[in-house]
Structure 1
Amino acid sequence: MQTPLRRYLLAGSVFVLAACSSVSVKTDYDQSVAFAQYRSYTLAPSTEAVGLSPSSEAALSATLRNQLAARGVEEVGENGDLHIVRHISTKEKLSINQSSAGGPYRYGAWAGGPQYTDVSQYTEGTLILDFVDSKTRKLVFRGIASGTVGDPEANAAKIKEAVEKIVANYPHPHTGQ
């Protein structure tokens, strides 16, 4: 039997592990599509004004190749069953955090203590992977990943994480789930 404290600790540790992820991902797909028909893909060249660095581009290609191959979908030169189209964007963001000198438990003289505001600026990057049926030109699966942009090495690691999470949600060709 689990005690309430043990349940709270377990739930808290799951929350902390989820919060450690550096990339958030959302996916959606057409549930009427039989994904077993897709055995190959072509990675469409990027036409975006904002492109990926060489290390991030390599991470995206290699991770897609490995993750989709594990699902029975192989990369081909030009005539894949799917065209994977990537869209990349960045946006400048502000993070504003307020705190007081007394912390969350303000007693006595600390109750009216000074307030501190910490403002930081960062760049958020978004990667969208669209999986398009090459015959019908219909979008069948979309993955959207967002994370903080950093140095090229960190960005490549985040691209890898993003692609892994997106492809993990790609419907399995044999079960459709």
Structure 2
Amino acid sequence: MKKLLKFTPMFLLFIGLASCSSVKVAADYDREANFDNYKTFAFFKPGIDKAEINDIDKRRILRAIEAELMAKGYTKSQNPDMLVSIFTKSNQRVDIYNNAWGRGAWGWGGYGGWGWRTGWNNNQVSTTTEGMLFIDLIDADKKELIWQGSGTGSLETRNMEKKEARIKEFVSEMMLLFPPDKQ
């Protein structure tokens, strides 16, 4: 019992950190597609070229996707069953925090008499860039979308190691949903 109590705080911390992923992911897929038939993949250059992101980040994303697919047992091929494409979007997210405590109202306000008092009533504005990454998996023969994953999260990072880790986090969280579990 003492051993169990000893590891409980560490376990709770791990659960708390795991549940606080800062990337929101979703996936959609073609229910008619038989994902057991797909064994090989290649990148779809025309689709990737249209992604509005710099070439360095494209390569980071593609390396992360390739690593995830290979870890799942897929093989990169010149004659693939599946094509991989990406699409990116970014939005500015503006959060306004109103710290309206103190004298921010009509009424008697100390030295100035009757009227509007601003006091500690200040707004704080925070702006961050929120990015979306879409990974499209396309049936190579039919040229039809069979699976799409999307990930949304903050992109603000100037540190290259953190940026690369953030991209890997986006891709790995999304690829947890592939192949779909058809139940």
Class of the TM-score when normalised by the shorter of the 2 chains: 0.7 to 0.9
Stretches of structure 2 lacking an aligned partner (at least 5 in a row): 1-10, 103-117
Q: Which residue of 2 aligns with 1:125?
A: 131
* Equivalent residue in structure 2 for 1:170, among 161, 175, 178: 178
Once residues 71 and 93 of structure 1 are traced to their aligned partners in structure 2, the CA distance between those partners, rounded to angstroms, is: 35
Aligned residues of 1:59 and 1:157 also touching (Cα < 8 A): no
Q: Which residue of 2 aligns with 1:37?
A: 37
Q: Which residue of 2 aligns with 1:3?
A: none
* Equivalent residue in structure 2 for 1:136, among 138, 142, 146: 142
Shift of 1:28: 1.3
Report the RMSD for the aligned CA atoms in angstroms.
3.0
Shift of 1:66: 2.0
Stretches of structure 1 lacking an aligned partner (at least 5 in a row): 1-9, 103-111
Aligned residues of 2:51 and 2:86 also touching (Cα < 8 A): no
Once residues 82 and 123 of structure 1 are traced to their aligned partners in structure 2, the CA distance between those partners, rounded to angstroms, is: 32
TM-score, with structure 2 as normaliser: 0.71
Residue type at the aligned position of 2:58: E
Number of matched pairs: 155
- Percent identical among aligned pairs is 23
Task: List per-residue Cα deviations over 1:91-124 (Å, max 9, x = no partner).
Answer: 222111223446xxxxxxxxx9733321011211
Residue type at the aligned position of 1:48: K
Q: Which residue of 2 aligns with 1:4?
A: none
Once residues 143 and 101 of structure 2 are traced to their aligned partners in structure 1, the CA distance between those partners, rounded to angstroms, is: 58
Ranked by relative contact order (alpha carbons within 8 Å, sequence separation 6 or more), the top structure is 1
* Aligned-partner SS, 1:142: strand
Look at both structures and tell me which one has the larger radius of gyration over its CA atoms. Answer: 2
